[in-house]
Amino acid sequence: MILKFLRLFKIIRVTLRYGIDEIAISGLKVPRTARLIETLLFWRDLSAPRGERLRKALEDLGPIFVKLGQVLSTRRDLMPPDIADELAKLQDRVPSFDPDLAVAQITKSLGAHPDELFASFNRVPVASASIAQVHFATLKDGREVAVKVLRPGMKDTIDKDVALMQVAAGWLEALWADGKRLKAKEVVGEFDKYLHDELDLMREAANGSQLRRNFQNSDLLLVPEMYWDYCSSSVIVMERMNGIPISQIDKLQAAGVDLAKLSRDGVTIFFTQIFRDGFFHADMHPGNILVSTDPATFGRYIALDFGIVGTLNDFDKDYLSQNFLAFFQRDYKRVAEAHIESGWAPKDTRVDELEAAVRACCEPIFDRPLKDISFGQVLLRLFQTSRRFNVEVQPQLVLLQKTLLNIEGLGRQLDPELDLWKTAKPYLERWMNEQVGWRGLMDKLKAEAPRYSHIFPQLPRLAHQALSRAGEQNNSNEMLAALLSEQRSTNTLLKVIIYFGGGLFAGVIAAQLLLHFYFIG
């Protein structure tokens, strides 16, 4: 309890120090309270931009809050652009934990000491983040591997910090005029799920295995193999990959890597994941990408860290392809119709109003040459427009937008002349052809053929059963109609008897009374 109170005190102190409360003051529903806060805390220097102050506050609060900031930076449909841009600068840098704790974690998870499991184990970590750190090792058969070890005590730390975040989110929604639209509680809930997913390293290993299988026969992307005999929820062991970090452009040029081709390949990999696989690496920042220098795989991308992936179903892919094609054909009416048809915009939304809003956002973008158009900016503008029309932005599309911005920025860093549309257009057109044309029809028939082969022999029996049930239903209906008719006749007869009997009884009583009075009189 004392530790929780001290943590809360630190959060309040950092919040006041960087003026995070001031960010919300303009939207407070009680202006007198806002003025009182400004008066009491007059001594603070709040000259720095609000986004910068928020970023520094999160960095001071530690790795869990840094991760929250990283998640918020992807929610550009909710966050103001200046804050989202500043939060995107957050880096997940934390000191490594004690190697003895790593050894203890490996021993507990895999049932043996690293000295027994590996021919060699480097106790000095090569990378450290808020959730885990990485050590290099060599298996007894000589294969070089990377060992990723979960940071001890992370679950308790996450649970405590997230509980405090939930309280803060409740205050935010209650006090800030724009708090409910920002969906503070929902964002914290999403963040909680995201963190707990990252705590299960087996999930990351499975994601990596899926991505490796998808690109098994590709000459564009390498994904490390997972060694399942050495994997658990808190330790995973994978193939060690050697390459140059993609952000080190000088070293890439010195090694003879074709940067223009590398840039185009990155875009091709992205759209292959989207429109072919519907499964994409959603954390493709430079720290997770290497370029192979091995002669056999020279110039290929190497993907690392599979804790965050996105998935798209056929409906999502159809939505994306239609919107991208409509955008670049400046068919804004089709964009508006697609949003309403998908159910992401309310059914009572006027197409012409949404069309006009989309046109106002995107027309300035398309007055530039195609090579200067940013796909990420197109999605960003679309998300910003969505605020006004209460469009429900899907989580998988938020991940996609974040990944697209990363890929696009990386591609143009490698090759400023990159024409993203020229690379993307064939994938969009091929997807539409596969879904709408004869090729799409034949592919779907082939995919359903095993199911049809099982159903077709049963059709005569199923038809007979359906007809028999229909006949029984008809007989039942006829019997029910006859019963209802008979019931109505019975009811009519009963009414006649009641009325006749009642009248006769009343007549008899009346006659008796008349006779009685007559004889008495």
Residues forming the annotated binding site for ATP? 126-134, 148
The two tokens of residue 53 are 């102050």
Binding residues: 126-134, 148
Residue holding tokens 């969009």? Answer: 428
3-state helix, strand, coil in the chain (%, to 5): 65, 10, 25
Residue 302, SS3 per DSSP? strand
The answer for residues whose C-beta is within 8 angstroms of residue 450's C-beta and 6 or more apart is none
Side-chain half-sphere exposure of 347, counting CA atoms within 13 A: 0
What residues are paired with 121 via a beta bridge? 137
Dump the DSSP string for 101-150: HHHHHHHHHHSS-HHHHEEEE--S-SEE-SSEEEEEEEETTS-EEEEEEE
- Distances, alpha carbon 197 to alpha carbons 71, 115, 127, 202, 221, in Å: 14, 30, 20, 10, 25
- Report d(CA 235, CA 335) in Å as an integer: 46
The active-site residue out of 77, 192, 283, 305 is 283
* Complete DSSP assignment for 163-226: HHHHHHHHHHHHHBTTHHHHTHHHHHHHHHHHHHHHT-HHHHHHHHHHHHHHTTT-SSEE-PPB
224, with CB counted inside 10 A (0-12, 13-18, 19+), is buried
Comparing CA positions, the residue from 223, 226, 213 lying closest to residue 300 is 223
Give the three-state DSSP class for 407: helix
Q: What are the beta bridge partners of residue 311?
A: 279
Distance (Å) of CA 451 to CA 136, 174, 438: 48, 53, 20
Q: Which residues of 479-510 are buried (b: 16+ CB within 10 A; e: fewer)?
A: eeeeeeeeeeeeeeeeeeeeeeeeeeeeeeee
Phi, psi of 146 (to 5 degrees): -115, 135
Active site includes 316?
no
Nearest 5°: the CA angle 165, 61, 285 is 90
- Contact, 105 vs 148, CB < 8 A? no
Which DSSP letter does residue 287 get? Answer: G
Contact 7, 160 (CB under 8 A): yes
Neighbouring CB atoms inside 10 A of 431's CB total 23
Cα first-last separation, the chain: 101
Q: Quote the CA–CA distance of 142 and 406 in Å, as a whole number.
A: 36
Residues with catalytic roles? 283
